[in-house]
Structure 1
Amino acid sequence: MKRWLSLVCGVVLTVTRAPEARGALLDLSFVPGAGPDGPVVRVVQQGDGRLLVAGRFQHFAGVPRPGLVRLHEQGQPDLSFDPGTDQRWEVEELALLPDGRILVGWRLDWRLLQLGEPQDAGLVRLCPNGQRDPGFLPPLEFRPNVKIFSRRAGVTRGPKSPAIRFALLPDGGVVLDGRAFRVAGREPNSLVRLRPDGSWDETFHAGLSLRDWEVRRVAVAPDGTIWVAGSFDGVGLLRFRADGGWDGWRPPAMVPTTVVEIQVLADGRIVGVGTGLNLYSSESRVFRLRADGSVDESFPVAALDREASALAVARDGAVVLAGVFRSVNGIRRPGLALLDSSGRLLHTFDPTGLPEGDTTFAQAALMVDPLGRVLVAGNLTQIEGQHRAKLARLHAAPPDHMPPRFYWAKASVVGRESEGRATLVCVRAGSTAGPAYVRYAAVPDTATAGSDFVAVSGLVVFAPGEDTRPVEIPLVNDEVEDPCESFKVMLIPYEVGTELGEPHEARVSIIDDDLSYVVRVLMPATATATVSENQSRLRLYLHITSQAKHAEDPSLLAPEELVEIAYEELGARVGRDFLPIQRPLFQDIDKVDNLDWLGYYAAFYLPVVGTPGWEGPRQFRLHFRSRSPRVVFEPESCLVTIEDNDNAAGTARFLRGMPDCVAPASTGGWWVAGNFDAVDARPRPGLARLEADEAVDDAFAPPAGPDGPVRVLLEAPDGSLYVAGFFRRVGEWERSSVVRYLPDGRVDPNFVPPQAWDLPNRLTELQRPSANWRRSLWEKLPEQVVEYTHGVLLADGRLVLAGWGLFHGPAPAPGVVRLLPDGRADPSFKPPELDLEGLSALTALPDGRLLVAGYRVLTGEWVLLRLSADGVPEPGRGLRASGPIWALESEPDGQVWVAGDEGLVQLPPWGEAPPWAALRTVGRTVSTNATVVLARQGDGRILAGFKATTGVRLVRLD
């Protein structure tokens, strides 16, 4: 014991930390003085070594330079470059032409906006001296009413104006995100191309709308291919052909959902970084693609624990990163990191004096010069002990004479008791020219040496060229469930002058492998439960808690091993009064998380049989058991009482569940669909037809219903029923969100809809819609690619459906489709993207044309569009509404009822009307009360539902 205490004392007395003012990487010849008075967003180097620095600043080192300054190679402002001080720019994008002219994307300074100045933005070309080039006159008019949203890590931000993003083309032209502008009088929704003189190139047609998505970068490959990085509803990268068309390319799964920055290399390969590896993740990933868009397997994906904000690639292929991350591939790197061309983290690039986890590089810009030096811009005040105001230049590696520095790759490490050891990684930063040595020792914290771990010490030996070495600490594996305990492993200088970096002390948490599971029955809340015959099932909720998943216990119990149920008959009999649970208890459990260490809620259902006649209450008991002794139940059993729903008057009418969709039937009754499994104690799997007195119609008895929500019910003249919504299967039949039932309730095998639109029937987690109300549906059916919300049946038997899906591109968007009577897509119906955030209503005109209502998010307007018979919006045939439009119904004479928040409007047969006129100026206002429902009855008359204080008031229209 005395020897051990003396060693610990020696550790405390001899630890020597590296001095912060080390200056191993900082280029002392680059001194920008006071720097800019605002953020820097872009840095570009001219061929003569001078630097163009752009951003949201008005002065640089005290010199007035609104948004753009040129620096000499040593960091001082170049006074010969003067764009003028009267424009009050904020520069968002910058590009250098081969002849030295400069393309600038600018926006009016935000300080002027606060003083009441109107928003403005534009694109200018500057001569090498900073003066405007009169030969570049783009026909751009800023549109301040256009707004977009940014979506990252499950959070939506906005609305805001689209950023100015462009890239130079090989011929000197420009490809530009045109949404912020009116271009030559037109209002684009995607990319536009300008000729070298700035004129609009009308031969360029973008094949995808950019909708309300956030574009972070536009880049052009040597072959003219256009890459667009950003956040596009779960897709982080788009590719356009040189002519603007979309070739159907979709990013590989390893490309993040939000790509922050990309750079196209001389050989056409693409290097990028982004965040959002799943719906709520803030981790980032660095990737490299080949020129054809496939994964470059020679570059392993680099993982960052938090967001990156900037990326730059050196001539030799090395990748520089900046952001708010704290580690790269598990190695400590507070905000700056350098990867070599093979994707390996370089330990020679490790600037000191950077605070852990701060926001210095939350908004950053990077550039690597031909000598390999890194110019970094951020919210800097100092680096490596030297004052640097927002801008610094760093060497990629320290000089060979600098001594190495030692630290642990991670400040905290998890060791599993079952593995018998904990492995740490020691890092040598700086020169690796020769051998190097550093000592280590394991000391107790809350864990006890001898019973939890072995208190070892030793020497870490680095051979020439090595910059990392593993260190193993033995763990003691016992059979006792212990709380999480920890010990420390400290680095100790090998000799006087040995420098230690941060962290030089690592904490090892020991994860036990003898963890128990607690299963609590939450519903019923007590050990007794009561269920009625007409409820058709007993619902049980369980709450499972355990540290096993959090500990990533290799002996983690499978869900089916946690709970078994035995039935004790106490009057109620299995098979007559109730049925055993037939499906696995954890069928709906998240396959990714399995069991959450904080607790997971699981549900299962026990079927209850509705028997005819009065039998009184019957009872049975559920006993909860497990194959594993590590599972504890609270309570261990539950007494269930089945109450009879019969009396002298007969069986009570009861719909067990919640109806989602109701439509009138030709019989005078009603079609009902929803989340129910019985009506009047008759099995009805989410779909039923009721007679006029609301009794169940036994002539329509579907054996199976859709496995997801129903949004549309349409009855055909022959009595068959079209059912559409958001589902994948109907019993044994695969049906992608639409199915046709025969008049007797059987699924029509001759109606087979498309499995997907433009894509295989596969929607990965990275491609889920971001709207919160829709997210739960996509998570339940992750392979479904379309959700139909509206439909109309044409007189010739064709079916028109509108909804949300992968209709036109790699990300979900609203769209309209038309199906033939056998379910196939109608090849003559080819609607383009409608640029609507959602489709709120649909109807067909007598001549086959369509009316579609929705919200145009770029301009924040509710609109009514008229589509031709082949699905193309008719120019000048749009109307504007002051609020949401909820329903549309057309009459045989061409008149249309429009229901919405501004009331009920009757449109005459739509002929000549001013383009984008107000809805009320074209039609007759029948009521100013908000109208939410329109339904046509079997006799052809229409019911209108008006909002009332207590609900909806139905009125029949003449």
Structure 2
Amino acid sequence: MSEIRASSNAGALDPAFADKGVLSLPLPRIPGDEARCVLALPQSKTLLVIPWLASGPIVVARLNEDGTLDTSYGDRQLGFVELLFEGTEIDRVGFKIGALADGGCVVTGLYGSRGIRGLIAIRLRQDGSLEQSFGNGGVRLIPEEDFRRGTTNVAVRVAQKIENDGNDPSTAQGNSGGAVAEDPDGKIVLVSNTFDSTGRQKAVALRLNPDGSTDQSFNGGFAIVELQGVAHLWSSARDVAVQSDGKVVVCGQYGDNDRRAVFVMRFNSQGKVDAEFNSNRPVTITASEYIDFRSIRVSKTAILVVGEANRSGVNHGLIVMLNSSGSYNLVFNNGAPLFSNLMPGFLYWRQCALQSEGTVIVTGVGRGTDTRELSVVTARYRADGKLDSTFNDGKGFAVFENEMGTHVTDGMDVMEDGRIVICASWLDLNIKSGGWVLRYLG
């Protein structure tokens, strides 16, 4: 949860950042043109995770407030660190980044090495150096064998690329990296997806100790998401958040041969399904058409989840606000899911942030009816679920358009003063691609 100091120009691109609020990639000395995730830091700095083009290293770069590289970051004083893993192939799309209480961060994703696939977790100190006490010199590889040891009732393996027959989870879900969060004891919580012994995909949560070892006190280290009282064949984890008491909240999608639906469920600090959450049932939303959750954030009193839902053939952004106990917040949109329809073509939310007075920041992609291209859409909602009229001259949302092609939002975070940082990428009809970092006033 972030504080907010409202600007009189909230919703406008920040003129103090890069080129009138837009930083185009690649950055100097970094031959990678797409940032895959972003983390806002104290002192108005920003971290980016940027894969090099082709098969080079993964770069973590730190920006100053004006968008220039912070040359105090990294041992070579270049403003970035390079992470290269010989003999290990890192998926160059599904990265996540999480802040740590000690000022460092954890970067997660998927890896493959000599026929073994799994999750990778990389822990960096505040200065960009690897935390040597974590895993093997700052890196923990979590192969599928670890999932087998951590599960007593089913054999599981880390989800890889799978085919989509229209009923099972999409390929993008099966190939997504592990979302990451830190708990009050400094332990690191991840979610990913597995397959059980029958070949059905299941969402899974796991917890690491601060040194990267598997935390056996969390259900033996790993817990399969079980949606008690809900009939389903498969489930898929999208994101994870940890509440102030150490309870782990997971959001995702589930379904069977006939439908898709979304869920929010909670584990207690021991990795067991929490009977105190929503009267011992997951929060679920069903739909006759497509629906998905993408991002979850928590505060001391609330749980915010966002995604998308198709209604009458038109894709809407989906926002759900729950109390910390799992019941619907009756103030936000009168206690009902909010289906955003801000663009005449379609809209979906990909990232979210929850601020101190209940204000909601969401970002995603939308399209108008008069263009084939996608635009980055960022909105601010009040605690009652209404668009915030103080954001972007009364509109409540801002649209970033560019002639470069189709746009995708890859990450978003909110700075301490309320400014919104977004990393976005584009792809044109010639299969050329690139990216930006955007910053809006808050």
TM-score scaled to structure 1, two decimals? Answer: 0.32
Q: CA deviation at 1:171?
A: 0.2
Structure 1 distance, partners of 2:298, 2:181, is: 11
CA displacement 1:671-727 (0-9 Å, x = unmatched): xxxxxxxxxxxxxxxxxxxxxxxxxxxxxxxxxxxxxxxxxxxxxxxxxxxxxxxxx
Identify unmatched segments of 5+ residues in structure 2.
1-8, 27-31, 75-79, 146-156, 196-201, 228-232, 256-260, 342-346, 369-374, 428-433
Classify 1:352/1:309 alpha carbon distance in 2 versus 1 (closer, same or farther; 3 Å). Answer: closer
Say if 2:330 is the partner of 1:297.
Answer: yes
- Identify which of 267, 271, 280 aligns with 1:244: 271
- Identify which of 111, 116, 123 aligns with 1:125: 123
- Identify which of 312, 337, 347 aligns with 2:379: 337
SS in 2 for 1:98: coil
Q: Match for 1:202: what amino acid?
A: Q
The equivalent residue for 2:254 is 232
Classify 1:268/1:41 alpha carbon distance in 2 versus 1 (closer, same or farther; 3 Å). Answer: farther
The equivalent residue for 1:520 is none
Q: CA deviation at 1:269?
A: 0.6
The equivalent residue for 2:297 is 263
Q: In the alignment, is the contact (CA less than 8 A) between 2:253 and 2:292 conserved in 1?
A: yes
Matched ranges for 1:799-838 at <5 A: none
- Identify which of 58, 69, 80 aligns with 1:66: 58
Say if 2:242 is the partner of 1:220.
Answer: yes
The equivalent residue for 1:35 is 25
Name the stretch that deviates more: 93-102 or 208-217.
Answer: 208-217
The equivalent residue for 2:198 is none
Structure 2 distance, partners of 1:154, 1:221, is: 32
Which has the bigger relative contact order, CA under 8 A and spacing at least 6? Answer: 2
Q: Match for 2:97: what amino acid?
A: L
The equivalent residue for 1:46 is 41
Matched ranges for 1:110-509 at <5 A: 121-137=119-135, 138=140, 140-141=142-143, 146-147=159-160, 156-158=169-171, 160-177=174-191, 190-205=204-219, 206=223, 208-209=225-226, 213-233=235-255, 234-246=261-273, 247=275, 248-251=280-283, 253=285, 257-265=291-299, 267-276=300-309, 282-300=315-333, 301-305=337-341, 306-326=347-367, 335-347=377-389, 348-349=391-392, 350-351=397-398, 354=401, 359-360=406-407, 362-379=408-425, 390-396=436-442
Structure 1 distance, partners of 2:262, 2:159, is: 22
Q: Match for 1:101: what amino acid?
A: G
SS in 1 for 2:332: coil
Structure 1 distance, partners of 2:285, 2:83, is: 47
CA displacement 1:578-601 (0-9 Å, x = unmatched): xxxxxxxxxxxxxxxxxxxxxxxx
The equivalent residue for 1:26 is 13
Q: In the alignment, is the contact (CA less than 8 A) between 1:162 and 1:214 conserved in 2?
A: no
Q: CA deviation at 1:284?
A: 2.7
Q: In the alignment, is the contact (CA less than 8 A) between 1:151 and 1:231 conserved in 2?
A: no
Classify 1:215/1:226 alpha carbon distance in 2 versus 1 (closer, same or farther; 3 Å). Answer: same
Classify 1:310/1:189 alpha carbon distance in 2 versus 1 (closer, same or farther; 3 Å). Answer: closer
**Any runs of at least 4 consecutive aligned residues in structure 1 with deviations exceeding 4 A, and if so which?**
116-121, 142-145, 148-156, 178-181, 209-212, 252-257, 277-281
Q: In the alignment, is the contact (CA less than 8 A) between 1:312 and 1:319 conserved in 2?
A: yes
Q: CA deviation at 1:42?
A: 2.5
Structure 2 distance, partners of 1:149, 1:215, is: 15
Q: CA deviation at 1:352?
A: 6.0
Q: In the alignment, is the contact (CA less than 8 A) between 1:308 and 1:323 conserved in 2?
A: yes
Q: CA deviation at 1:26?
A: 1.6
Q: CA deviation at 1:176?
A: 2.3
Task: Answer with 1 or 2: which has the greater Rg.
Answer: 1
CA displacement 1:269-318 (0-9 Å, x = unmatched): 11111223679773232121001111101111432233222222334432
Say if 2:68 is the partner of 1:76.
Answer: yes
Classify 1:97/1:156 alpha carbon distance in 2 versus 1 (closer, same or farther; 3 Å). Answer: closer
Structure 1 distance, partners of 2:63, 2:57, is: 11
Q: Match for 1:58: what amino acid?
A: W
Q: In the alignment, is the contact (CA less than 8 A) between 1:148 and 1:214 conserved in 2?
A: no
SS in 2 for 1:83: strand
Q: CA deviation at 1:320?
A: 2.0
Structure 2 distance, partners of 1:42, 1:364, is: 6
Q: Match for 1:367: what amino acid?
A: D
Q: Match for 1:230: what amino acid?
A: G
Structure 1 distance, partners of 2:234, 2:168, is: 15
Q: CA deviation at 1:43?
A: 1.8
Name the Cα RMSD after superposition: 4.0
CA displacement 1:740-796 (0-9 Å, x = unmatched): xxxxxxxxxxxxxxxxxxxxxxxxxxxxxxxxxxxxxxxxxxxxxxxxxxxxxxxxx
Q: Match for 2:82: what amino acid?
A: G
Q: In the alignment, is the contact (CA less than 8 A) between 2:262 and 2:284 conserved in 1?
A: no
Q: Match for 2:188: what amino acid?
A: V
Matched ranges for 1:559-578 at <5 A: none
Q: Match for 2:440: what amino acid?
A: L
Q: In the alignment, is the contact (CA less than 8 A) between 2:410 and 2:424 conserved in 1?
A: yes
CA displacement 1:150-186 (0-9 Å, x = unmatched): 98996853384452223211100122236569xxxxx
Q: Match for 2:241: what amino acid?
A: A
Q: CA deviation at 1:49?
A: 2.4
Matched ranges for 1:352-751 at <5 A: 354=401, 359-360=406-407, 362-379=408-425, 390-396=436-442
Structure 2 distance, partners of 1:139, 1:25, is: 41
Say if 2:101 is the partner of 1:98.
Answer: yes
Structure 1 distance, partners of 2:349, 2:163, is: 16
Q: CA deviation at 1:141?
A: 2.3
Q: In the alignment, is the contact (CA less than 8 A) between 2:376 and 2:399 conserved in 1?
A: no
Q: Match for 1:227: what amino acid?
A: V
SS in 2 for 1:294: coil
Structure 2 distance, partners of 1:135, 1:86, is: 18
CA displacement 1:393-432 (0-9 Å, x = unmatched): 1123xxxxxxxxxxxxxxxxxxxxxxxxxxxxxxxxxxxx
Classify 1:71/1:334 alpha carbon distance in 2 versus 1 (closer, same or farther; 3 Å). Answer: closer
SS in 2 for 1:40: coil
Identity level (%): 21
Structure 2 distance, partners of 1:299, 1:65, is: 44
Q: In the alignment, is the contact (CA less than 8 A) between 1:368 and 1:375 conserved in 2?
A: yes
CA displacement 1:632-683 (0-9 Å, x = unmatched): xxxxxxxxxxxxxxxxxxxxxxxxxxxxxxxxxxxxxxxxxxxxxxxxxxxx
Q: Match for 2:143: what amino acid?
A: E
SS in 2 for 1:223: coil
SS in 2 for 1:271: strand
Q: CA deviation at 1:93?
A: 1.5
The equivalent residue for 1:943 is none
Q: In the alignment, is the contact (CA less than 8 A) between 1:163 and 1:215 conserved in 2?
A: no
SS in 2 for 1:48: helix
Matched pairs, number: 345
The equivalent residue for 1:827 is none
Identify unmatched segments of 5+ residues in structure 1.
1-21, 182-187, 328-332, 382-387, 397-958
Classify 1:271/1:149 alpha carbon distance in 2 versus 1 (closer, same or farther; 3 Å). Answer: farther
Q: In the alignment, is the contact (CA less than 8 A) between 2:204 and 2:237 conserved in 1?
A: no
Structure 1 distance, partners of 2:163, 2:244, is: 29
Classify 1:225/1:316 alpha carbon distance in 2 versus 1 (closer, same or farther; 3 Å). Answer: same
